Amino acid sequence: MSEPPAPTAQRQGPLLIALTCAGSLALLLAGRWALQQRAALTPASPGRQLSWVRHGEVDPQRRREASLLLVARAQGDPKAQRRLLAGQGWGSSPLAAVALKLQALATERLGRGTEAKALWGAVLQRFPQDPASADALYALGRQTPTQRLLLLRRFPAHPAALAAAVELGPSPGPEREGALHLARWGPRWPGAEPRLRHACSAKAPGLTPGERRTLALAFAELGDGATALDCLGPEEGLVADGAMTLGKALLKADAPRKQEGERRLLALAQRWPQSPQALEATRLLSQQDGPTALARLAQLPARLRATAPVQARLVLEQRADWRTVLRRWPRDPASWDLQWELARERLLKGQWTEAAEVLRRLEPAQLAAPLAARQQFWLGYVLRQLGQEPAARTTWEQLLQVAPNGYYGWRAALQLGQAKALKPPKLHALAPTPWRPLASGGVVLDELWRLDQPLEAWERWRDRRRNQPLTTPAELGVEGRLRQGVGDDWTGLVQLEQAHLRLPAGSCQTRQGFDHDLHPVRFERLFLDAGLREQVDPALLLAVALQESRFTPAVRSSVGAVGLMQLMPETAAELAGRPLSLEALKDPVTNVPLGARYLRHLLARWQDNPLLAVASYNAGPGAVEGWISPLLRQHPELWVEAIPYPETRLYVKKVLGNRWSYLQRDKEPSC
């Protein structure tokens, strides 16, 4: 008969089991923690790493992420994309819908229509409310028109719906419905404007007053106030939003229409004096020139006459005290503009003490970030003129800590002896553009951006926002970056600039992120080669192209300048030694070298003085010849402020600030 186990052994058994379980749980938790701590895959991840993760990673989510990143690198190779996406449509997450959609698109490009149709059907069946289904409805609607109608109802602002709206027709009913859909959800969509014009021209057969208003406001949103007014008809019925949009658009028209715009803005302010639109109308009216505009300000309701825009305008008309305005409304843009106008006037007269008083009336923290940089630079400048050298240097050093880039960062660095002037020109290699998170606050958007799928992120953003106005710097910044991601620098850079101008002065890290986005490198090889050939710094060429065309090759100005470097056809023909077609000038391969050659001629004419060369690029060397004065050598910053053309004055600062920002790309952030 065996002996019973000892009491100690009885106690050790459960203890060992508990320890084993605890150890296993700890290992599982540690393993999960280790998985979570691995560096996220991004567009900056090496291709070798992505290939290893796709084939060897245990986590299927990581395998799918690697596949999507590799798909982005296989642009133009649908066969490779289809292979990479095979088996990645598992699960119910938005990434599954995206993987299926991309697989369907790649299959279509390979000419496998039946397989593509099955994939589109799977997208629509499994993810009916996901924006990826908008593309499925568009594709399936080629054979089944009812799918297109479902697309317009379910995803009205999605790019696929806007493309479908452009294609509606050819009978008058569907054509009109397409035009009205575009007017509501995307008047700026390519191909929308001709549809809108046709609908307005055909307004007699059956357009209701509400439909006329919809079409008219679409033209107002496009900035075509004259057409909007013609389309509207006698029975308007506009509410405050519509009246604001139309009045603002009319300000851009000819003189009679402009007067009509002012009249409508005044009527808006009188009818809805408590509305946000009334405040915006007041701001616009206060910016108009001439005695008529002043008379309209006097007709505003008392509440609106006692606002910063009106009072700031009265200061400039010498009818109010500037100190009161700046003290009462220190954070209003009208006060910011007023402060600068007063300071600039005193700076140009050499009234240093008075200029210092004006500049000190607002704290940097009360200003938008770019304006705070301008204020700090000129305050340092004035302090130096007053003999307060240590205080001047401290002011510029503080400026460079928070705003090292741009025109005022460059001029502050020059004043401190930390930078050299731009002559003689030096060729600089361009630092690569690092990837940055989108930081939109939307989990799916940020994930798609991280996986190098900007088009998918953009479509979801557009579908979610449904053509709502962008009101905050964060919204403007996100949309601007998304537009850049899909190749729309023309609009994206404007939105980023608007966001930048609304940033508070203390947001150093956010500002430096915006500064990087505001100075993208496009067509890098062309600019490097042209700079080397003509001995012009590629950073200066990029700076000019950024300001001239926002890197949009097909853009043409109102005076006829064409392409990336906005060359006049006559100038381009002279530089090339032969006539050039419009299409040739739109080609960056032709346009960039000619722009570099023209800039080289201007630099040679002005002994490599960048201020004169850049001013000449905008205003012409003949005009610049008449602006040369001793001020250029003694106080070059003041010479720039004395340029009589406001457009050229801003142009010089923007271009040379762009150039400096490009040269700072490889510097460590100063925040």
- Give the end of a domain, one of 104, 125, 155: 155
What pLDDT, on a 0 to 100 scale, did the predictor assign at position 425? 46
Q: What is the CATH classification number for the domain harbouring 147?
A: 1.25.40
The distance of Cα 670 from the centroid of its chain, to the nearest Å, equals 23
Q: Which residues contact 649 (CB under 8 A, 6 or more apart)?
A: 640, 641, 643
Distance CA 291, CA 259 (A): 12
* Contacting residues for 597 by C-beta, under 8 A, at least 6 apart: 534, 575
| DSSP-derived secondary structure letter, 471 | -
Helix (H), strand (E) at residue 629: none
- pTM, two decimals, is 0.90
Token pair for residue 469?
Answer: 């106005």
User: What is the phi/psi pair of residue 368, to 5°?
Assistant: -65, 150
Between CA 226 and CA 253 the distance in angstroms is 7
**Cα distance between residue 387 and residue 595, in whole Å:** 43
The domain of 580 spans 524-663
Q: Is 600 part of any domain? A: yes
Pair (616, 498) in one structural domain: no
Question: 528 and 513 share a domain?
Answer: no
Q: Is residue 302 part of a domain?
A: no
Q: Is residue 305 part of a domain?
A: no
Q: Determine, yes or no, domain membership for 277.
A: no
Question: Where among 107, 130, 155 does a domain terminate?
Answer: 155
Rounded CA separation 620/440 (Å): 43
Distances (CA, A) of 186 to 138, 209, 214, 471, 477: 17, 20, 12, 18, 20
Distance (Å, rounded) from C-alpha 137 to C-alpha 160?
8
Q: For the chain, state the CA radius of gyration.
A: 30
Q: How far apart are CA 215 and CA 89, in angstroms?
A: 41
Give the whole-angstrom CA distance, residue 193 versus residue 206. 20
536 and 651, same domain (yes or no): yes
Helix axes 369-385, 352-360, angle to 10 degrees: 150
Is the same domain home to 587 and 655?
Answer: yes
Q: How far is CA 91 from the centre of its chain?
A: 35
- What pLDDT sits at residue 510? 74
**Distance between CA 82 and CA 70 in Å, rounded?**
11
Please tell me whether residues 528 and 501 are part of one structural domain. no
Q: What is the pLDDT of residue 201?
A: 84
pLDDT value, residue 14: 54
In degrees rounded to 5, what are phi and psi of residue 536?
-120, 135
Going by the DSSP 8-state scheme, the letter that residue 504 receives in this structure is B
Tell whether 532 and 512 lie within a shared domain: no
Please report how many Cα atoms fall inside a 13 Å half-sphere around the Cα of residue 317, on the Cβ side. 17
pLDDT along the chain (671 residues), means of 10: 47 54 52 56 96 95 98 96 96 97 98 97 97 97 92 97 93 91 96 94 74 94 93 86 95 92 96 96 94 92 97 91 96 97 97 98 93 97 98 97 94 91 56 85 96 98 91 93 96 95 75 87 94 94 98 94 97 95 97 98 96 97 96 96 98 97 79 64
Q: CB of 188 within 8 A of CB of 221?
A: yes
End-of-domain residue from the set 517, 547, 574: 517
Q: What distances in angstroms separate CA 488 from CA 120, 294, 591, one per listed residue?
A: 27, 39, 19
Burial class (CB in 10 A: 0-12, 13-18, 19+), 450: buried
Residue 244: phi and psi, rounded to 5, are -65, -45
Phi, psi of 226 (to 5 degrees): -65, -50
The DSSP result for 96-151, as a single string, is HHHHHHHHHHHHHHTT-HHHHHHHHHHHHHH-TTSTHHHHHHHHHTTT-HHHHHHH
Residue 459 known to be catalytic: no
Helix axes 94-109, 454-465, angle to 10 degrees: 120
List, in order, residues 6 or more apart from 126 with CB less than 8 Å away.
Answer: 92, 96, 97, 100
Residues 497, 571, single domain; the answer is no
- Of 146, 142, 145, 124, nearest to 133 by C-alpha is 124
The answer to whether position 79 is within a domain reads: yes
- 549: domain CATH number is 1.10.530.10
Residue 453 included in any domain: yes
Q: Output the CA torsion sign for 499, 504, 505, 511.
A: negative
State the first-to-last Cα distance of the chain, in angstroms, to the nearest integer: 81
In which residue are the tokens 């993208």 written?
Answer: 520
- Asked if residue 494 and residue 562 are part of one domain, the reply reads no
Q: Tell me how far CA of residue 170 lies from CA of 139, 151, 157, 166, 176, in angstroms.
A: 19, 18, 22, 11, 10
Which member of 456, 548, 583, 637 is catalytic? 548
Overall size of the chain counted in residues: 671
- Whether residue 594 sits in one domain with residue 488: no
- 580 assigned to some structural domain: yes
582 in Cβ contact with 597 (< 8 Å): no
Q: Clarify whether residues 537 and 574 are in a common domain.
A: yes
Cα 498 off chain centre by? 7
Cβ(68)–Cβ(451) below 8 Å: yes
Longest dimension (CA), the chain: 121
pLDDT score at 670: 63
Same domain, 563 and 466: no
Q: Would you call 40 exposed, middle or buried from its count of C-beta atoms within 10 A (0-12, 13-18, 19+)?
A: exposed
Number of structural domains, the chain? Answer: 3
Residue 647 domain flag = yes
Q: Are 513 and 528 found together in one domain? A: no
